[in-house]
Amino acid sequence: MFDLRSSEDQEQIRQMVKEFVEKEVAPGASARDDAEDIAAVHELLKKMGKLGLMGLPYPQEYGGAGSDQVTYVLAGMEINKVDASLGCAYSVHISLASWPIFHYGNEEQRRKYSTKMFNGEFLGAFGLTEPCAGSDSGASQCTAVLDGDHYVLNGTKCFCTNGEIADVIVMFAMTDKSKGTKGISAFIVEKGTPGLNFIKRERKMGIRSTVQNVIEMQNLRVPKENLLGKEGDGFKIAMTTLDGGRIGIAAQGVGIAIGAYEYARQYAKERIQFGKSIATQQVIAFKLADMFTKIEAAKMLALQAAWKKDQHMPFGTDAAMAKLFATDTAMEVTTEAVQVLGGTGFTREHPVERMMRDAKITQIYEGTNEIQKLVISGTILR
């Protein structure tokens, strides 16, 4: 079967998210960015919990909305059209924190954590990156040593989105350094655990109303039952989690690009220069045509990766291609949107400069676009 239409359920949820975003998210997006207002984004996430969005692609049996990855992409596009900070926090919760706990967790862990994550009571974070283990995430220096019925974690994590506002963090550390990537394990760490220290909040170019922390783990004691999967499963858990996360970031790239394109198109129709609207002048009309074409292509790649995941087909390479293309598109389209608005686009009077700043990180996080090319070339040259 080949059908590019969304189902009635998918469309209904997309419409609900669009209405929520227009009413609750759009009005304060620029002010939240200006003020780096993390608390306000946290409040929005709680409201999204009440709408069933925090467990959108997860089974109803565990408190999720019982929807799918395609719907998650549609929702992500609507959110990111308006506020990529909220989009980032949401995507980390859904893809990077909720997924590994639900997918690799045992029944007890699912009942204890997944249900609360899906209903919005618990917000999730993902602790993989370290100062010396960025793209090379297998080079982890963090350690976890079994001591009685606890693992004791030590080391530094960085760029942990949602860190200080999260209720649970999926944390990675070496249980056996001699085994390389096969010596990494994953743990569920609860907020407030002694030794979980948030020592820095990053100040950033974009997505300024999300929080990214440096975390220092000092003899952080994690109960043995919070090991996710088996000892040594951590790298596989991280990589498969990121495969799915990249679908969320692809949706984010498409969303940011649509937001900037729609704003620039409207502006171009209204802006008069040389006696007519600039949209009727070919140099601008062609820019808009290029922007729209790339957005449509990026959207298709994102939906294809999501659809394959829904069909339980291999989707890692599709997710990498979607992330690569959609986020490059976001950067290109937002840059062009600022150009269409000219000097005024460079000011904070219009949202396109924020969108351009927000777009940059999408080319970097959840695997730089250079890493995506490594993943894609690895597949096509295998």
* Residue 371 binds ligand CAA, judged by CB under 6 A: yes
Extract the tokens encoding 131: 């100062």
Marked catalytic residue, from 130, 164, 366, 370: 366
Q: Which range, of 105-113, 116-124, 255-263, 370-378, touches ligand CAA by CB under 6 A?
A: 370-378
* Residue 319 binds ligand CAA, judged by CB under 6 A: no
Considering the complex, state which of residue 211 and residue 288 has its C-beta at the smaller distance from ligand CAA: 211
Q: For strand 124-127 and strand 168-174, is the pairing parallel, antiparallel, or unpaired?
A: parallel
State the minimum distance, in angstroms, from the CB of residue 149 to ligand CAA.
29
Helix segments in 83-219, DSSP class H: 84-91, 99-104, 107-109, 115-118
Task: Quickly count: other Cβ atoms within 10 Å of residue 257's Cβ.
Answer: 33
Among 12, 135, 273, 280, binds ligand CAA (CB under 6 A): 135
Indicate the SS3 state at residue 196: strand
Fill in the per-residue mask, 68 to 107: x = in contact with ligand CAA (CB under 6 A), - = not in contact: ------------------------x---------------
* Residue 128 binds ligand CAA, judged by CB under 6 A: yes
State the minimum distance, in angstroms, from the CB of residue 246 to ligand CAA.
8
Residue 182's nearest CA partner among 235, 128, 104 is: 235
Q: Which range, of 63-71, 124-132, 198-206, 275-283, touches ligand CAA by CB under 6 A?
A: 124-132
CA 334: distance to chain centroid?
Answer: 18
Residue 159's nearest CA partner among 177, 139, 135, 180 is: 135
- The residue type found at 10 is Q
* Residue 263 binds ligand CAA, judged by CB under 6 A: no
* Residue 243 binds ligand CAA, judged by CB under 6 A: yes
Task: Rounding to the nearest 10 degrees, give the CA dihedral for residues 366, 370, 376, 382.
Answer: -120
Among 16, 26, 40, 239, binds ligand CAA (CB under 6 A): 239
* Residue 315 binds ligand CAA, judged by CB under 6 A: no
State the minimum distance, in angstroms, from the CB of residue 24 to ligand CAA.
23
State the minimum distance, in angstroms, from the CB of residue 159 to ligand CAA.
5
* Residue 181 binds ligand CAA, judged by CB under 6 A: yes
Among 138, 195, 223, 229, binds ligand CAA (CB under 6 A): 138
Please give the angle made by the CA atoms of 243, 70 and 244, to the nearest 5 degrees.
10
Which secondary structure element, helix H or strand E, spans residue 216, and what is its range?
strand 212-223
Among 31, 39, 205, 374, binds ligand CAA (CB under 6 A): 374
Question: Cα(337)–Cα(350) distance, rounded to whole angstroms?
Answer: 11
The residue count for the chain: 382
Query: Is-catalytic flag, 366?
Result: yes
H and E: helices and strands count for the chain: 13, 10
Among 242, 260, 330, 359, binds ligand CAA (CB under 6 A): 242
Among 98, 115, 129, 140, binds ligand CAA (CB under 6 A): 129
* Residue 236 binds ligand CAA, judged by CB under 6 A: yes
Q: Which range, of 52-60, 135-143, 251-259, 300-308, touches ligand CAA by CB under 6 A?
A: 135-143
* Residue 240 binds ligand CAA, judged by CB under 6 A: yes
Which phi and psi (to 5°) does residue 212 adopt?
A: -125, 125
Please identify which residue in the block is written with the tokens 């929005």. Answer: 44
Q: Which range, of 19-27, 196-204, 221-229, 363-371, touches ligand CAA by CB under 6 A?
A: 363-371
Q: What is the DSSP letter of 98?
A: I
Subset of residues 275 to 304 that bind ligand CAA, contact rule: CB under 6 A: none
Q: Print burial letters for 262-289: b (CB count within 10 Å at least 16), e (below 16).
A: ebbbebbeebeeeeebbbeeeebeebbe
Q: For strand 196-201 and strand 143-147, is the pairing parallel, antiparallel, or unpaired?
A: unpaired
Question: Cα(138)–Cα(117) distance, rounded to whole angstroms?
Answer: 27
Catalog residues that contact ligand CAA under the rule CB under 6 A: 92, 126, 128-129, 135-138, 159, 161, 181, 235-236, 239-240, 242-243, 316, 365-367, 371, 374-375
- Could you list the active site residues? 366
